Structure 1
Amino acid sequence: MLARLNRLFDGLARITSWVALGFLAFMMVAITVDVVARATFGRAVPGLFEMTEMSMVMVVFMGLGATLLDDGHIRVTMMTDALPGPFSRGCTALAWLFAALTFLMLAWPATQEAAYSFSIREFRWGYFQVPIWWAKIAVAAGLWFAALQAALHSLRIALKQIELPHIDSLRSGPGDKPLQ
């Protein structure tokens, strides 16, 4: 059951990472075009600043899932490295659970803000109107996905479905079982 759910989350993370990559590519091209336009014509491309802002939001919040796939979330492991195997695994699982709760605490108000923004079809004035409600929905979706992904990761660590090299290869305590 958890393995199937993990495969589903991995697939979703790959999809959201491609979305983030698409927005990153757009930002690179757009900024290059803007620099050339400023150098050539002395003027910026109208509306590009606002579109780049929305793209940055998409890069960050759609990239959260891929960060877990690459084991790229920043964490400090001094304490867990010093603990015996079972305690280290338990503390690591607990840390991921706290990460899930943190994402959840961010996702809830982001969802409320996204719902309100969508209800009024919120936009931002710049050179022209840029709708921002869709980016707020993406922020909320990215945070909910990160919360679910971190909770699943915590559970899989606790159930020893994920190998933790600093724990599993160095020590073996009486409560440790081999990975399956």
Structure 2
Amino acid sequence: MTLASARGALTRLATLFALVGGGLLMLAVCVTTASVIRGAFGRPILGDSEIVELALGVAVVFCMPLCEMKGAHVLVDFFTQKLPKRGIAGLDAVMRAVAALVVAILAWRLAIGGYNQWDRERESMFLQLPFWWGYAAAAIGMVAWSLCAAFVALESFVRMRRPA
């Protein structure tokens, strides 16, 4: 498998995650809108904040793999503007590898947290939604983000090693 075909596959996966994340964002918008409208008539939606919290938390994590693949993160290049292209690529590769490691650790900790929530049968107050669902979904999103970050780091290492 070439880097280009791997990039295509990971970008498709990241896009799928982002579409699901966008759907969750729309769910949160619809629930909030419906709750506000119903609240105006004295009939708010019970547990609306529980749905919105779960949906938004997972939505953010699910959008991050595509941000990684597109290089759409905030970039502060004030100190690196004068570096040669290979130096920038090297620094970029190291920082992306560190990001991949940090996100992988977060995925691991979310998985453990989700297991603990499942084991203790923790649920939300109003709707009795199991907390572990959000942890599990976020952990899966973090694994996808970590894979994308590791791949982009690999691309940066390859770019750094190419002759100028």
TM-score strictly above 0.5: yes
Give the deviation of 1:120 after TM superposition: 4.2
Sort the Cα spacing of 1:143 and 1:17 in 2 relative to 1 into closer, same or farther, 3 A: same
- The one-letter code matched in structure 1 to 2:141 is G
Q: Distance in 2 between matches of 1:97 and 1:82?
A: 22
Give percent identity, aligned residues only: 25
Q: Distance in 1 between matches of 2:76 and 2:97?
A: 15
Partner of 1:85: 85
For structure 2, the 5+ residue unaligned runs are none
Q: Secondary structure at the match of 1:44?
A: coil
Question: 2:31 aligned with 1:8, yes or no?
Answer: no
Q: Is the 8 A contact 1:16 1:65 kept in 2?
A: yes
Aligned length: 163
Q: Distance in 1 between matches of 2:71 and 2:143?
A: 18
- The one-letter code matched in structure 1 to 2:134 is A
Q: Is the 8 A contact 1:100 1:151 kept in 2?
A: yes
Partner of 1:169: none
Q: Distance in 1 between matches of 2:10 and 2:125?
A: 36
The runs of 4+ residues in structure 1 deviating greater than 4 Å are none
Q: Is the 8 A contact 1:80 1:92 kept in 2?
A: no
Q: Distance in 2 between matches of 1:4 and 1:121?
A: 42
- The one-letter code matched in structure 1 to 2:152 is H
Give the deviation of 1:29 after TM superposition: 1.1
Question: 2:9 aligned with 1:23, yes or no?
Answer: no
TM-score in terms of structure 2 length: 0.89
Bigger shift: residues 64-73 or 87-96: 64-73
- The one-letter code matched in structure 2 to 1:49 is S
Query: RMSD in angstroms over aligned alpha carbons?
Result: 1.9
For structure 1, the 5+ residue unaligned runs are 162-174
- The one-letter code matched in structure 2 to 1:86 is R
Partner of 2:115: 115
Matches for 1:2-151 after TM superposition, within 5 Å: 2-40=3-41, 42-126=42-126, 128-151=127-150
Higher share in helix: 2
TM-score in terms of structure 1 length: 0.82
Give the deviation of 1:125 after TM superposition: 1.4
Question: 2:133 aligned with 1:177, yes or no?
Answer: no
Q: Distance in 1 between matches of 2:50 and 2:70?
A: 30
Q: Is the 8 A contact 1:123 1:132 kept in 2?
A: yes
Give the deviation of 1:110 after TM superposition: 1.1
Q: Which has the larger radius of gyration?
A: 1
Sort the Cα spacing of 1:9 and 1:118 in 2 relative to 1 into closer, same or farther, 3 A: farther
Partner of 1:164: none
